Amino acid sequence: MTTAGRPLFWALSEAPRFNSESCVTSSNDSRARPGSRAGKRAGVIGQGGERSMVITKKHLSRRAVLRGVGASLALPLLDGMVPALTALNQTAASPARLRRLGVFYVPNGMSMGYWFPKAEGPLQELPPTLRSLAALKDRVLLLGGLADKPADLMKGGGDHARSAGTFLTAVPFKLTTGADVFAAVSMDQLVARQFANETQLMSLELGIESNAMVGMCDGGASCAYTNTIAWRTPTTPLPVERDPRAVFERLFGTSGSTDQAARVARLKRERSILDVVAPELNRLQRNLGPGDRIKLSEYVDSVRDVERRIQTAEQQSSRELPLVNEPAGIPDDYATHAKLQMDLLALAYQTDLTRVSTFMLAREVSGRAYPEIGVSDSHHPLSHHQDEQAKLERLHKVNEYHFQQFAHLVATVAATPEGDGTMLDHTVFLYGTGISDSNTHFHDDLPIAVVGGQSVGIKGGRYVRHPRGTPIANLYLAILDKLGAHQEAFGDSTGRLDTLTSG
């Protein structure tokens, strides 16, 4: 399966009869073969170890892939792909110049007493909900006083739909339960457009719960407004993908068909993609510098770990073998599911398949219970706590549990070297929700955290209060500027926050 002439980066399908070579080649040159001019440019290693040329930092293509019989595997961005003093080293593809955005949304508001610190200024310690990032508190910027005013301006529709439906668009949406939804281009998609020509996927939308885009989910509002926060156009909501297997296939290829029978056949195959390309992988390792060998080894370990965990999730699932409405690969356990999705996102970042993502840790109006952390209450009813301390504490447990899944990803990218720093330095994470106090359903003084982004000047380790009612769209304008997607105005913005770098 190809996209614009380029093989998808991970494909395990029936091997083409006409192609028995195993090679390292560039994915933007389908003609590359051992001994050919194209093959020499791409640094092809032929079957049986015949080498057209030694792969060096000077010759390794940024789009190089490992090929086996019927399979290919993308490579992470290696130093050898970006030689010093080349034009590529000065572009957005250079590790030192990469910019990413990841937005994480949680539903049903917060137990607010556990979110904000007691005092503005430097973070001496993180508040209880965020303490899983204590080791990286200097990368955390907490912002108070921000409001999602468009959610209050709407007439009709439930508070939950209005919260998620306006969170990244900052405009009221059309109230409907039909297919005629209408909102606005979301902030993340403006960034995605900026990088559209640099990556295979404009953006990646992930989640844990329902991705239904039709029907009524809250107060006469379409499910499109509660189940996603990303809008490519005013009429095109982007559904989340909740199945790790489907995410893996989207990132690294498919079995060649979306037909259920074909996918089931793919799931039954035992052989790992890494086993298929192992000979070429070993040869490539010998021709890389020490730093790239370590980076490639860590990447391979991550791919194998994700494969193993997806297979385990499928084997342990209490569901029957795959049916059309019950795809395999979705773990029953929330934390296992969330962390698997987070690790897939980290791989997408590491291979530069996408630089923009949204992640819904649960959909709005989610009624999920979390008995694994001692909360048997349904989340949504629990969020209407009526200021009962016992309920506030249980709601806090849910809020903290959600944040722990996010912290897992942050720790992963913080431990992944990139350029002169880490992936976290080049990634701006936004974590929050469109409801503050879950009992009152207020849309002001929202719980918002910005994490990472040191390479674009974001200064963490602080809690900054803004005048209550400051549009969250002002934050979005500031982030858009940092990521090179400048806009004169956005949604209900009244200006730009100047507190990301100081204050």
Distance set, CA 99 to CA 93, 173, 418, 472 (Å): 9, 30, 11, 21
pLDDT class of 118 with cuts at 50, 70, 90: very high
Burial letters for 173-203: b for 16+ Cβ neighbours within 10 Å, e otherwise? bbbbbeeebebbbbbbbbbbebbeeebbbbb
Cβ(448)–Cβ(125) below 8 Å: no
pLDDT of residue 242: 94
Closest-CA residue to 358 (of 484, 189, 493)? 189
pLDDT class of 68 with cuts at 50, 70, 90: low
Least reliable range by pLDDT among 2-16, 78-92, 231-245:
2-16
Name all contacts of 322-327 with Cβ < 8 Å and 24+ positions apart: 322/260, 322/263, 322/264, 322/267, 323/260, 324/260, 327/243, 327/245, 327/246, 327/263
Q: What are phi and psi of 211, to 5 degrees?
A: -115, 25
Please list, in sequence order, all residues whose beta carbon lies within 8 angstroms of the beta carbon of residue 147, skipping any fewer than 6 positions away. Answer: 443, 444, 445, 446, 468, 469, 470, 471, 472
Burial of 502: CB neighbours in 10 Å, binned 0-12, 13-18, 19+ = exposed
Query: What is the C-alpha separation between 393 and 487, in angstroms, rounded?
Result: 41
Q: What are phi and psi of 3, to 5 degrees?
A: -130, 115
- The distance in angstroms from the start CA to the end CA of the chain is 50
Query: What is the C-alpha separation between 9 and 319, in angstroms, rounded?
Result: 30
> Does the structure show a pLDDT above 80 at 196?
yes
pLDDT of residue 282: 84
pLDDT of residue 502: 79
Cβ(115)–Cβ(106) below 8 Å: no
- Taking only the tens place, the pLDDT of each residue in 404-459 is 999 999 999 999 999 889 999 999 999 999 998 878 778 899 999 999 999 999 99
Output 16 or 266, whichever has higher pLDDT.
266
Report the chain's mean pLDDT, rounded to a whole number. 80
Strand partners, 372: none
pLDDT of residue 48: 36
Least reliable range by pLDDT among 194-208, 248-262, 483-497:
248-262
Please list, in sequence order, all residues whose beta carbon lies within 8 angstroms of the beta carbon of residue 372, skipping any fewer than 6 positions away. Answer: 333, 334, 335
> Does the structure show a pLDDT above 90 at 306?
no
Closest-CA residue to 248 (of 305, 319, 315, 317)? 305
> Does the structure show a pLDDT above 80 at 183?
yes
Query: Tokens 């110049």 belong to which residue?
Result: 97
Query: Tokens 């303490």 belong to which residue?
Result: 131
In which element (H, E) is residue 102 found?
strand 100-105
Per-domain boundaries in the chain:
2-90+255-294, 98-147+186-209+237-242+330-472
pTM of the model: 0.76
- Taking only the tens place, the pLDDT of each residue in 230-257 is 999 999 999 999 999 888 888 876 543 3
> Does the structure show a pLDDT above 60 at 335?
yes
pLDDT of residue 470: 98
Q: Does the domain spanning 98-147+186-209+237-242+330-472 belong to CATH 3.40.720?
A: yes
> Does the structure show a pLDDT above 80 at 268?
no
Output 164 or 295, whichever has higher pLDDT.
164
pLDDT of residue 414: 98
HSE (side-chain half, CA atoms, 13 Å) at 143: 32
